[in-house]
Amino acid sequence: MLDINFIRENPDLIKEAARKKCIAVDIEKILELDGKRRSLITEVDNFRAEQNTASEHIAGMTSEEREQAIAAMRALKEKLSQKEGELKTVEDDYTRLMFLVPNVPDLSVPEGASEDDNVELRTWGEKPQFSFEPKSHIELMKHLDMADFERGTKVHGFRGYFLKNDGARLSWAIWSYAQDFFLKKNFTPFIAPAIVQKRYFYGTGHLPSGAEDLYETQDGDYLSGTAEVPMMAYHADEILSKKELPKRYLAFSPCYRREAGSHGKDTKGLMRVHEFYKLEQLILCEASHAESEHFHEELNRNTEEFIESLGLPYRQLLISTGDLKAAHVKSYDTELWVPSENKYREIASASYYHDFQTRRFNTRYSDGKAKYFAHSLNATAIPTPRVLVSLVENYQREDGSIKIPEVLQKYIGKDSITAL
């Protein structure tokens, strides 16, 4: 959420940000409601002060004066109740619209209407050249008894899956290696809850937009699609010391997404599933644009280095304004090469927010003189099972076996996966 003072002082900048991000929000209406809200707050405060003053003096009054004062207080109470009702209505409308106001994209973000306008920054690695027709990860994992998609669908439903045998072991190996890799970069490890209170999804920006992709429990909580949500909530309503910053967290969690907006896409296999696991990097730092930029590049590079250590070809994209989420200042996407599709597919993203999220979470820090809202950043470390798609396809052999990347071999105890 943006500071209303910033919106008041820069209405045209906010309107332009909304236009660039293709978000419909009435900034003039917000400013009108803000004016009404401030006026009503003043009226309500005055009525309450008047009420308190009258209460203090009533004890020393005569019976006749007391009756008159009580009658006046009843009238005052009715006026106060009416103004409080008006204030609540205005504040509800104001808050609803404020949650729609997007963050301002960085000047380096290319303007565009959709994902088609994202800019490729670089590619890494050589795409494998096969002397045979490469198989898809579905064919390979079925042949090697690494996954059971039919029973997954029977048990879970659409997009269900079981990982088994070396499919499960390869996932565990990736998690173990990722833990060792990222913890060398001075992160504090967490296992984060997936069930999170609804209000915290407003904090990260996953609500109100994005509701269709969330699973809701019968208690009104939600299943998170990323550890970003619980980890940002971890310091909600807290004041940290400047000396504690930056906070550097590496969180593992199960993730749940309905994928409601992807009807007809990736209906088979592991590319787009409802339940998966992910390691997430998250940083809270000082309220400095320079620090946000620095840590954004660092988090993004961490993921690149991890993928490079696996030997998987990838490309890096700078997300355009039309594909940039409302809360983001700037984002990179990393995509892995998928031979069977002859194209790159998304595996990770890295984003920064300035104080957009921390204002909603009321996460601040103090330098001993003043309090500031921290800046937040996050980036995917690695998701499973999606990474298996690229890994098994890029490392497949003509006989249907799969070479295991050298860095994973000690974690799985073999150098290749062959048919049982």
Give the residue numbers marked as catalytic. 257, 272, 346, 349, 386
In this structure, are residues 190 and 250 in contact, taking their beta carbons and an 8 Å threshold?
Answer: yes
**DSSP letters along 229-245, please?**
HHHHHTTTT-EEEGGGP
CA dihedral (270, 272, 277, 279) positive or negative? positive
User: Both tokens of residue 373?
Assistant: 């809202």
Q: Any bridge partners for residue 345, and if so which?
A: 336
Q: What is the DSSP string of 296-346?
A: HHHHHHHHHHHHHHHT--EEEEEPPGGGS-TT-SEEEEEEEEETTTTEEEE
Sequence-separated (6 or more) residues with CB below 8 Å from residue 150 = none
CA–CA separation, 357 and 285 (whole Å): 13
Q: Beta strand pairing status for 188-191 and 247-256?
A: parallel
- Residue 14 has a CB neighbour count (10 Å cut-off) of 22
